[in-house]
Chains A and B, each alone.
Chain A
Amino acid sequence: MASAPLADAMIPRPFRIQRLRKETADTFTLDLVPADGRETFSFAPGQFNMLYVFGVGEVPISISSDSGDSSALQHTTRAVGTVTNALQGLKKGDTVGIRGPFGSPWPVEEARGRDCVIVTGGIGLAPLRPALYFLLAHRESYRQVVLLYGARSPEDILYRRELERWRSKLDLEVRVTVDRAGGEWRGTVGVVPMLVRRAGFDPSNATAMVCGPEVMMRFTVRELESRGMEGRHIYLSMERNMKCAIGFCGHCQYGHTFVCKDGPVFRFDRIAAIFGKAEV
């Protein structure tokens, strides 16, 4: 999918907040509709937008809604900085600016006919949700579909109702783990990379899509490789300090690439040499 034309790429388009929903103690989802009366735009799973809180600043946030549903754009994020805290303070009817969509998508087309393994942790589920929507909407095109998700605690599980709904589907394997839990939790406690060895997929015919904290992705890649997966079938969503979103400013340089333009989704074998390097 092509990104926005350069001439328009730096001009934010006004979107109105249709709904602001609290997901967990520190995460929330914004449903946004165009404020200019025009249609919303199409995007591919994995792409992100720059959200502009007028007078405060701009921040890159992955699109977390269904790419097949153009009624509203959803963005789930965590209130961790000036802009995201300001976003959380907005209310229904307020206007934000949007530039996008930007960046590379998840390889949902290339993965047709293969097993798909989605491994994600924390807020990393948000950028992968559109990919999962896509896989489920085209379920007949894929073999096993596996979702492995890790959260800090049961209270921090994102999209909990949706996860429970997905888990009840007979053609989707969903495994959830938390780092810590009280005695009332009846599920798995441990880190998400360890779920890789328990999951039912064929490593010789699988595509993995991974998103989460970089350390979690490092250990996940190691587990995927130890099961026999090749780097060319493993895709990661990288995060760096994105500003312009069109590869001009250089803030998000990642080795020989710019995360905003060449990523955020990278094929692992193409970044293996720099992945996990402290200097990059």
Chain B
Amino acid sequence: MIENLERIIAEHSFFHGLEERHIRFIVGCAKNVRFEEGQVIFREGDPAVNFYFIREGLVAVELMVPHRGRTIVQTVAAGEVVGWSWLVAPYRWHFDGQALIPTRALAFDGKCLLAKCEEDHDLGYEILKRFSHVVSERLEVTRLQLMDLYGSVV
């Protein structure tokens, strides 16, 4: 089982280039999870215990907006990661997350991984580099969305 998880972690693009010893070190923080269509994965304000590497499926990151209802901010697809609230105080989700279609993912216990990163700063640096990349990409996408490129010219 652990061996299988190790392989899955090693094959995920997020962990590409991570040393084998690091993968072995963090595998205990991970577990396979499955979400049905429409299943809520996390809710705004709840403690951000886990984060997820999507293996298959599609997850909506959304907000409930008064008078407008659920508004999808972004979707996260296979090969991508959802959640970094576990990494920064106050360690609570800032959005809701819902599986739009049946979704399989690797769930990581954020507290467990933080402890491992404290123990091995080389690992911590590698994880932080990867999450910085994710955050930077999300920021870029958000900026483009804010530009409303297809909106009215006049």
B79 within 8 A of A: yes
B68 within 8 A of A: yes
Q: In the assembly, what is the distance between CA of A123 and CA of B150, in Å?
A: 8
From B75, B78, B140, B144, give the contact of A189 (CB < 8 A).
B75
A152 and B77 in contact, given A180-B71, A183-B71, A185-B72 (Cβ under 8 angstroms)? no
Q: In the assembly, what is the distance between CA of A14 and CA of B152, in Å?
A: 30
Q: In the assembly, what is the distance between CA of A187 and CA of B72, in Å?
A: 10
B100 within 8 A of A: yes
Contact (Cβ within 8 A) B74 A189? yes
B89 within 8 A of A: no
A216 within 8 A of B: yes
From A122, A183, A194, A215, give the contact of B72 (CB < 8 A).
A183
Chain A contacts with B in 241-273, Cβ cutoff 8 A:
none
Contact (Cβ within 8 A) A182 B68? yes
Contact (Cβ within 8 A) A186 B70? no
Contact (Cβ within 8 A) B148 A179? yes
A88 within 8 A of B: no
Q: In the assembly, what is the distance between CA of A198 and CA of B148, in Å?
A: 22
Q: In the assembly, what is the distance between CA of A124 and CA of B83, in Å?
A: 33
A190 within 8 A of B: yes
Q: In the assembly, what is the distance between CA of A140 and CA of B73, in Å?
A: 39
Starting from the known contacts A189-B74, A198-B78, A215-B149, 9 additional A-B residue pairs (CB-CB under 8 Å) come to A152-B148, A152-B151, A156-B150, A190-B74, A194-B137, A198-B79, A215-B147, A216-B149, A219-B144
Q: List 7 A-B contacts (CB under 8 A).
A: A80-B153, A185-B72, A189-B74, A193-B144, A213-B149, A215-B147, A216-B149
Interface residues of B (CB under 8 A from A): 58, 60, 62, 68-75, 77-79, 100-101, 137, 140-141, 144-145, 147-154
Interface residues of A (CB under 8 A from B): 26, 78, 80-81, 121-123, 150-152, 156, 177, 179-183, 185-191, 193-194, 198, 212-213, 215-216, 219
